[in-house]
Amino acid sequence: MIARAGGATAQVHIHRGYDVTVNDAKLTEWSIPTLGRVAGEANVRFIDKVCGAEDFSCYQKEVPGFFYFLGCTAADKDAATAAPNHSPRFFVDEACLKLGVRSLCGLTLDWLATNAK
């Protein structure tokens, strides 16, 4: 309709990509104490849903999962105004990598301890 209004024609093809990533609510709730212990309770929070599509959603079709963000903005920068990922100005403060490894290890060990059979 928009193309016709300008005296043109158009063809539209919508390519379906990855599904929106939706965390498993129970697993996400379970993870909060571990993440709070590892990162400090004041550093762990829920964020509003975003319409991000991620290949991780394919895994979540098979098993429950949760996707979390690891802050990587330098301490002397404001995360609210820092360049977002996928931007050529995006900068990762590699100091966050240690916390990333600690959080994944903590979650893994707590999961194994909780679900030992």
**Cα distance between residue 20 and residue 52, in whole Å:** 6
**Is 18 a residue of the active site?**
yes
Pick the catalytic residue from 18, 29, 41, 59: 18
Q: How far is CA 70 from CA 10, 44, 100, in A?
A: 42, 10, 7
Catalytic residue among 29, 41, 59, 94: 94
CA distance 39 to 6: 55
Q: Where are the alpha helices (DSSP H) in 1-117?
A: 2-5, 25-39, 56-60, 96-114
In the structure encoding, which two tokens stand for residue 95, read together?
Answer: 């100091």
- 94 as an active site residue: the answer is yes
Active-site positions?
A: 18, 94
